Structure 1
Amino acid sequence: MANTPANLIFIPAPGVGHIMSTVEIAKLLVNRDKNLAITVLIINPPSLGSGSAITTYIESLAKKSLNRISFLELPQDETPLGDSMSSSAFYKEYIISHCKYVRNVVSDMIDRSGSGVIVGFVIDMFCTCMIDVANEFHIPTYVFFTSNAAFLGFELYIQTLCDDQNQDVIELIHSDTEVLVPCFIKQVPTKVFPTVIQTKEGLDFLMWSACRLREVKAIIVNTYFELEKHAIESLSTDNTIPPVYPVGPLLNLEDDGKLLADDVISWLDCQPTSSVVFLCFGSMGSFDEIQVKEIARALEQSGYRFVWSLRRPPSDQASKVPSDYKDPSVVLPEGFLERTAGIGKVIGWAPQVALLGHQAIGGFVSHCGWNSLLESLWFGVPTVAWPIYAEQQINAFEMVVELGLAVEIKLDYKRNVWDKAIDAHKDHTVIVTTDEIECGIRRLMEDKEVRTKVKEMSDKSRAAVVEGGSSYASVGRLIQDFMGNISGI
């Protein structure tokens, strides 16, 4: 059995964070077992056009083949799906429309002599429709959950509330109360529930995903036991949930810092250790001009050194992806760049890993995407939480309240970058004030207790992935699980 070729089919969701994490676990698995080979089936994102960070990254993957990892771009239907659909319904149908292409690829692989046995589908948390394709070929399915164990438990708990307790979750989210969720020790305020469950369509999508999660053979989570001990134990003791393999942190530490202007790195090289605040809000994060000015005034008043990745909001509804300003001064307070020239840098897109790993960075103002939080913990850089969309409010609550590994600017800030209809129903746009931002930055840079805890967690994250560590052992058990499928297929 040891010499039997074993193939895995990976299907990530079409987003940079999801694809990057998938590539990292693929590299980890083939490095740990020489008998594994992986084919990553790439679903191109809809309606982003050429030149976006996502399409550029996908194109770069499709052109190379790592050792025993190959990438195959799936065809894309030219016929657009219904314009009247909500974003969540569109996304679900968009992924489903690719099932036929996956079916064709797998059929060809099985027909090809000498290609080895397909021992599993490893599908993204948002691609659970692919379970049906795997079942057609009698191949076991695993879910790769790119967020954290606490959010996995939250999603499954919400599904239980809906299906088993007949709870009106949309009503609950507007009730301004707190709920005891098994994967959290602290009660979770409904105000930090994710934006997706504010609408019936979004809730239906979450419930569909959660129901299907219970059907898979196991769930692989990008986390580690030392970080989410309570959540992982909570999931492991629930016999309605498949086995959970914590395999993280899975990080792309080869991020190309050379893409950043040399003058920024040179400037950071001249700054004192842990003295610079880094502001970055992810691949989808941007703010309107009024909010940008509040951030600028807060930075100036705080007096701290800073590097600010400032992105321009999407210029049209179709693209949805922020871009860089040709001249950022058009949205900044008059004279801001001149007054802060000695203590700060305003840049566009930022290679986040390269910056977080620089010794001058002392704090991170973040949207609390899970990959970003894992990166900040790896480098021992404390975070101030400013969530924007998706499950980021839950992530922020876990880091600030549950684990004490971050401070907050505003945990319940929400701006849905996909469903403008949700924002349209709000009475007004929430503006986080200069004082709130400045206060958060000061706590970030001055809270020695949080800084110490983050440094300790940094050591634990690095210990988890080396031989003898918790995630290293979990990956070993996962590979045994894959290999055990050979006889059963």
Structure 2
Amino acid sequence: MKAAELIFIPLAGMGHLVSAVELAKRIAERDERISITILVMKFRFAELESYIHSLQTDGLVDKCIEFLVLPELGISIDSSSRDFILKYIDAYKPIVKQTVQERVINRPDSAVRLFRGFVFDMLYMDMMDVANELNLPCYVFFPSGAGFLSLMMRLQSLSDDHGVDVTEFTDPETELDIPGFRNRVPNKVLPSMLRDKDFACSFLLNQARRYRDAKGIIINTFMELESDALNAVSKGRDIPRIYPVGPIINLNSKNGGRPDGSNGNRDSILLWLDDQPPASVVFLCFGSMGTVGVEQVREVANGLEQSGHRFVWALRRPPSGGGYLGTRDYESFEGVLPDGFLDRTAGIGRVIGWAPQAAILSHQATGAFVSHCGWNSTLESLWCGVPIAAWPMYAEQQLNAFKLVRELGLAVEIRLDYLWDRWTQSSNDLVKADELAKGIRQVMHADSEVRKKAKTIKEESRMAMVEGGSSYTWLGHFVEDVLRT
């Protein structure tokens, strides 16, 4: 008998949705008394549609999790506008409220299945208005790291308690004290959204304010990785209970969100990796929204040749609309790569579009990961014991990269302050071929300290998830608290 029900409302983008679904699975597997309904607000990502379809054949979803895709909005909202997400949430509030009332609260078995509250994505906190109207508790799912959470709470406190204009943190040589960081953090690695006075900064600060009103924060990290940041932020004023339950990652996706559902590319690249020596291949991939311009593509190609290492490069093109839209495959690489590059590197490298990232990182031939340092990608890489060459691009990735390189020694630096603007489709600089080649050589060195630390954190990440481990224990605390609500 199901004794309690939670409603998850994840952000409708692959980086947030996949980890939210994996968290829901972990909770449902942990205690059969808890059922979960996942509400997805409709958005036109090809990868999203493919992923949702793949869930229909997942036995656990059918048994323990109800997956509801809400109807599309009757209005058009420009997804390339910077305030898109706020308009999107506001437009969906009445639909969410009506759905929860009709499909959950007033369902025939509501007398035996008690609704215990919401779990909102870290960027969907304005949905708390719906929870308040229904007089129901809510939790935050924070799919980023504890370092970023600590930064958000610090900035919100500086703004509200001390009257500091945090949009003025623009001097690249100035540094900021962030609780849980051993080193002072330079402004140049703070998220670029903070300098957007018109929308992004106020949006982030408002999310942080509302975290303090939640019943708890479920965060996708683990004590062995971020104990300093977790301990620091937990001691902050008005901070709800924090549950570090990560790494929450999906290593078993059938198609990884491939738009056409095809496994052909996956099979081909894994067969090629089977023929490579152990730890000999560097993998380059910049996430579902990470991309670079043509001039930068050519610098990357030249840097790969200079490095002399085998490689797999997931090269994708920018979205035509920019903003919140994801990347797309090139129809042909000939127009963006240097003349003759594919012929010269045919024996040592593969250039592909979409990449089965988890499968590549898990392969014994993969020796390093040139990454944008998105949090999901970071956790996947650490889980597989693959050291990182850090090339952050947007959002909180610069801060993640700083932590990996300077605080934890789990990555080498390619460029920490590189910035790709998804709205203007431009960058603040070029990463030169020799910078990339240098970073690759460093991270691929067999006796490097970063490689040794990656092996250690691999074991620690796995131990955290098994019975008696830190994340296993914290997930148990969350389940207990839900059932006691």
- Normalized against structure 2, the TM-score is what? 0.93
The answer to whether the Cα contact below 8 Å between 1:393 and 1:412 also exists between their aligned partners in 2 is: yes
Query: Is residue 163 of structure 1 aligned with residue 160 of structure 2?
Result: yes
The answer to whether the Cα contact below 8 Å between 1:390 and 1:416 also exists between their aligned partners in 2 is: no
Partners of 2:173 and 2:54 in 1: how far apart?
Answer: 45
Counterpart residue number, 1:362: 367
Counterpart residue number, 2:260: none
Partners of 1:394 and 1:79 in 2: how far apart?
Answer: 36
- 1:62, distance to aligned residue in structure 2 (A): 6.2
- 1:55, distance to aligned residue in structure 2 (A): 3.0
- 1:183, distance to aligned residue in structure 2 (A): 2.4
Q: Structure 1 residues 269-278 or 67-76, which shifts more?
A: 67-76
1:479 counterpart letter in structure 2: V
Q: Deviations over 1:228-283 (max 9, x none)?
A: 01001102222421110000001101023645343322221111100000000000
Partners of 1:312 and 1:164 in 2: how far apart?
Answer: 43
- 1:223, distance to aligned residue in structure 2 (A): 0.3
* Alignment partner of 2:236 out of 238, 241, 261: 238
Counterpart residue number, 1:249: 247
The answer to whether the Cα contact below 8 Å between 1:154 and 1:183 also exists between their aligned partners in 2 is: no
- 1:300, distance to aligned residue in structure 2 (A): 0.6
Counterpart residue number, 1:94: 88
Counterpart residue number, 2:448: 448
The answer to whether the Cα contact below 8 Å between 2:159 and 2:166 also exists between their aligned partners in 1 is: yes
2:67 counterpart letter in structure 1: F
Q: Secondary structure at the match of 1:412?
A: coil
Counterpart residue number, 1:66: 62
- 1:319, distance to aligned residue in structure 2 (A): 7.8
Q: Deviations over 1:119-142 (max 9, x none)?
A: 120110011112121122222100
Counterpart residue number, 2:76: 80
Q: Secondary structure at the match of 1:129?
A: helix
The answer to whether the Cα contact below 8 Å between 1:76 and 1:98 also exists between their aligned partners in 2 is: no
- 1:352, distance to aligned residue in structure 2 (A): 0.4
- 1:76, distance to aligned residue in structure 2 (A): 2.2
1:40 counterpart letter in structure 2: I
Q: Secondary structure at the match of 1:375?
A: helix
* Alignment partner of 1:144 out of 141, 144, 154: 141
Counterpart residue number, 2:127: 130
Counterpart residue number, 1:197: 194
Partners of 1:459 and 1:197 in 2: how far apart?
Answer: 36
Name the CA shift for 1:62/1:197 in 2 (closer, same or farther; >3 Å).
Answer: farther
2:106 counterpart letter in structure 1: D
* Alignment partner of 1:416 out of 411, 421, 429: 421
2:467 counterpart letter in structure 1: E
Q: Secondary structure at the match of 2:380?
A: helix
Q: Secondary structure at the match of 1:328?
A: coil
* Alignment partner of 1:331 out of 324, 328, 336: 336
Q: Deviations over 1:1-53 (max 9, x none)?
A: xx5620000000111011100110100001000101000000122xx46xx21
Q: Map 1:204-219 onto structure 2 (within 5 A).
A: 204-219=202-217
Q: Structure 1 residues 52-61 or 290-299, which shifts more?
A: 52-61
Partners of 2:439 and 2:323 in 1: how far apart?
Answer: 34
Name the CA shift for 1:86/1:283 in 2 (closer, same or farther; >3 Å).
Answer: closer
Q: Secondary structure at the match of 1:227?
A: helix
Partners of 2:49 and 2:173 in 1: how far apart?
Answer: 40
The answer to whether the Cα contact below 8 Å between 1:255 and 1:354 also exists between their aligned partners in 2 is: no
Q: Deviations over 1:419-449 (max 9, x none)?
A: 329x5xxxx8411101111111111111621
Partners of 2:356 and 2:266 in 1: how far apart?
Answer: 10
Counterpart residue number, 1:436: 435
Name the CA shift for 1:318/1:178 in 2 (closer, same or farther; >3 Å).
Answer: closer
Name the CA shift for 1:403/1:429 in 2 (closer, same or farther; >3 Å).
Answer: closer
Counterpart residue number, 1:301: 306
Name the CA shift for 1:319/1:119 in 2 (closer, same or farther; >3 Å).
Answer: closer
The answer to whether the Cα contact below 8 Å between 2:266 and 2:355 also exists between their aligned partners in 1 is: no
Query: Is residue 397 of structure 1 aligned with residue 397 of structure 2?
Result: no
1:433 counterpart letter in structure 2: K
Counterpart residue number, 1:265: 270
Q: Secondary structure at the match of 2:115?
A: strand
Counterpart residue number, 1:482: 482
- 1:226, distance to aligned residue in structure 2 (A): 0.3
State the Cα RMSD in Å.
1.8
Partners of 1:125 and 1:394 in 2: how far apart?
Answer: 17
- 1:338, distance to aligned residue in structure 2 (A): 0.5
Q: Structure 1 residues 317-326 or 87-96, which shifts more?
A: 317-326
Name the CA shift for 1:198/1:58 in 2 (closer, same or farther; >3 Å).
Answer: farther
Name the CA shift for 1:62/1:101 in 2 (closer, same or farther; >3 Å).
Answer: farther
Counterpart residue number, 2:282: 277
1:420 counterpart letter in structure 2: T
The answer to whether the Cα contact below 8 Å between 1:42 and 1:58 also exists between their aligned partners in 2 is: no
Partners of 1:264 and 1:35 in 2: how far apart?
Answer: 42
Partners of 2:414 and 2:220 in 1: how far apart?
Answer: 25
Name the CA shift for 1:259/1:220 in 2 (closer, same or farther; >3 Å).
Answer: farther
Q: Structure 1 residues 196-205 or 174-183, which shifts more?
A: 174-183
Counterpart residue number, 2:325: 320
Q: Deviations over 1:348-385 (max 9, x none)?
A: 10010010000000000001010000000000000001
- Normalized against structure 1, the TM-score is what? 0.93
Q: Secondary structure at the match of 2:224?
A: coil
2:272 counterpart letter in structure 1: W
Partners of 1:467 and 1:354 in 2: how far apart?
Answer: 25
Identity between Structure 1 and Structure 2 (%): 48
Partners of 1:209 and 1:94 in 2: how far apart?
Answer: 15
- 1:150, distance to aligned residue in structure 2 (A): 0.8
Counterpart residue number, 1:466: 466
Counterpart residue number, 1:39: 37
